[in-house]
Amino acid sequence: MTLTQQLSTLINKTQLVVSQEQIDLLVQYVELLNKWNKAYNLTSVRDPSDMLVKHIMDSLMVGEVLEGKNFIDVGTGPGLPGIPLAILYPERNFVLLDSLGKRITFLRQVVFQLKLTNVTPVKARVEEYQGEQPFDGVLSRAFSSLNDMVSWCKHLVTTEQGRFFALKGQYPQDEISQLPENITLVDSHEITVPNLVGERHVLVLKKLH
């Protein structure tokens, strides 16, 4: 099966609505990632078929829980989950933040080749980055702990609108119990990623004051 056929089969196992054009863009992204990975070492996942499951589907399934229009993907690496989500939701805007130049070089190439008008790659450390306006959501699967995520990213969202969307494997009960007093868990979603072994959770957090 081609990558396009494989991805279509995976998407058909979900409730996601994805156009053929979007599937083509997602496959182009995987092909670029596979090509650049040989020189740039952007991901430990080497097989494009595995990338479809572990990177593309894993990112797309987060979309169901997102609210808002403007997002920042912190520690985006090669653009995960930001690029797949930007392809799925062209009406939403995504800033992709990473401190490593080679990742941002790759992401600029992706944006150029896929003609993505709703993605802005930014090379910066998160604690030094100031957005033009607060974001509706901070996305990340890069942080080791929820505490790190909310403390490093707290300046990127407001108390009213802003949410932190943390992508996790198993439900991190210990980390939740250690959150600062001014951060509360709003919601937790267990997401099912087709053909992926292991648990996946998206935790939604907000600032109280």
Write the pLDDT tens digit of every residue in 117-135: 999 999 999 999 988 889 9
Query: Across residues 94-104, what is the average pLDDT?
Result: 97
Whether residue 125 is annotated as binding a ligand: the answer is: no
Q: What angle do CA 171, 151, 129 make, to 5 degrees?
A: 120
What is residue 143's predicted lDDT score, i.e. its pLDDT?
Answer: 86
Separation CA 56–CA 196 (nearest Å):
11
CA distance 39 to 62: 29
Please give the pLDDT value at position 16.
97
Is the pLDDT confidence value at 32 over 80? yes
Report the pLDDT value the prediction gives residue 115, as an integer from 0 to 100: 98
Query: Is the model's pLDDT at 36 over the cut of 90?
Result: yes
Burial class (CB in 10 A: 0-12, 13-18, 19+), 193: buried
The verdict on whether residue 80 carries a ligand-binding annotation is yes
Distance of CA 106 to the CA centre of its chain: 16
CA distance 102 to 78: 9
CB of 132 closer than 8 Å to CB of 70: no
Average pLDDT along the chain:
96
The single-letter DSSP state of residue 169 is S
Q: What is the pTM of this model?
A: 0.96
Alpha carbon distance 33, 101 (integer Å): 15
126 is in an annotated binding site: yes
Instruction: Convert the pLDDT of each residue in 151-200 to its tens digit.
Output: 999 999 987 889 999 999 999 999 999 999 999 999 999 999 999 999 99
Is residue 113 predicted with pLDDT exceeding 90?
Answer: yes
The domains located in the chain, with CATH, are: 3-207 (3.40.50.150)
**Residue 185 marked in a binding site:** no
So what's the pLDDT on residue 82? 98
Q: Name the β-bridge partners of 94.
A: 71, 119
**141 marked as part of a ligand binding site:** yes
Q: What is the distance between the alpha carbons of residues 204 and 53, in angstroms, rounded to a whole number?
A: 23
Cα 172 to Cα 155: distance, rounded to the nearest angstrom: 23
